Chain A
């Protein structure tokens, strides 16, 4: 079971680059890359809030749970 991060899809839909998103969210590109590639162990609520604000989405659009 894993938590999948759909940052790639959301970025593509909004025509935004990872660097631009990192700037607007206020995190480093490295950290955002860690999140995008599913290597993050935890996400702060403050980061999630900023991501949802910038990408204009819900947490459920960004993250999903996959069993198995």
Chain B
């Protein structure tokens, strides 16, 4: 599958996720639960937005350039450091709602999420390889 054919998929996916959340907020059985899930949903939307930015750039200029490496690195860093912050926010909101002081724990329900972390590390490794290939491409460009 070519990258170009994927460029329209991510924005559509983002709209579907937003509409689904809105629908749950308006008509769902547990609005509170939907609201509590908003930080993780926001994290997913930010990740999709960054992935879309990367994909758009790659379809225009190709993979072997500094900018593609930078965008891949940004997405990787977001998955490693940004995603846990959003889930921490969700955890804080959940625990703040607890009224029982005996069992109260700020970080009790915080889950960092294994797959975003692993995905982020993979993307960071990939961005390093991309940076190397961008340097090689620049050298080849200057070869007569």
- Report A's interface with B, CB cutoff 8 A: 27, 31-32, 34-35, 39-44, 47
Asked whether any CB of chain A lies closer than 8 Å to the CB of B5, the reply is: no
> Looking across the interface, which residue of chain B has its beta carbon closest to that of A35?
B144
The 15 sampled A-B contact pairs (Cβ below 8 Å) are A32-B144, A34-B144, A35-B144, A39-B142, A40-B142, A40-B144, A41-B141, A41-B142, A41-B143, A42-B139, A43-B143, A43-B144, A44-B143, A44-B144, A47-B144
> Bound complex: CA of A18 vs CA of B74, how far in Å?
45
Closest CB of chain B to A59's CB: distance in Å? 14
- Report B's interface with A, CB cutoff 8 A: 139, 141-144
> Looking across the interface, which residue of chain A has its beta carbon closest to that of B141?
A41
Closest CB of chain B to A41's CB: distance in Å? 3
Which one of A31, A41, A44, A47 contacts B139 once the chains associate, using CB atoms below 8 Å?
A41
Closest CB of chain A to B144's CB: distance in Å? 5
7 nearest A-B residue pairs (beta carbon): A41-B142, A42-B143, A35-B144, A40-B144, A31-B144, A43-B144, A47-B144
Closest CB of chain A to B16's CB: distance in Å? 47
> Bound complex: CA of A31 vs CA of B143, how far in Å?
8
> Looking across the interface, which residue of chain B has its beta carbon closest to that of A30?
B144
Q: Which residues of A contact B142 (CB under 8 A)?
A: 34, 39-42
Q: Which residues of A contact B141 (CB under 8 A)?
A: 41
- Pick the most buried of B141, B142, B144: most chain A CB atoms within 10 A of its CB: B144
Q: Which residues of B contact A47 (CB under 8 A)?
A: 144
Closest CB of chain A to B10's CB: distance in Å? 37
Q: Which residues of B contact A27 (CB under 8 A)?
A: 144
> Bound complex: CA of A39 vs CA of B142, how far in Å?
7
Closest CB of chain A to B89's CB: distance in Å? 48
> Bound complex: CA of A26 vs CA of B139, how far in Å?
20
Q: Which residues of B contact A34 (CB under 8 A)?
A: 142, 144
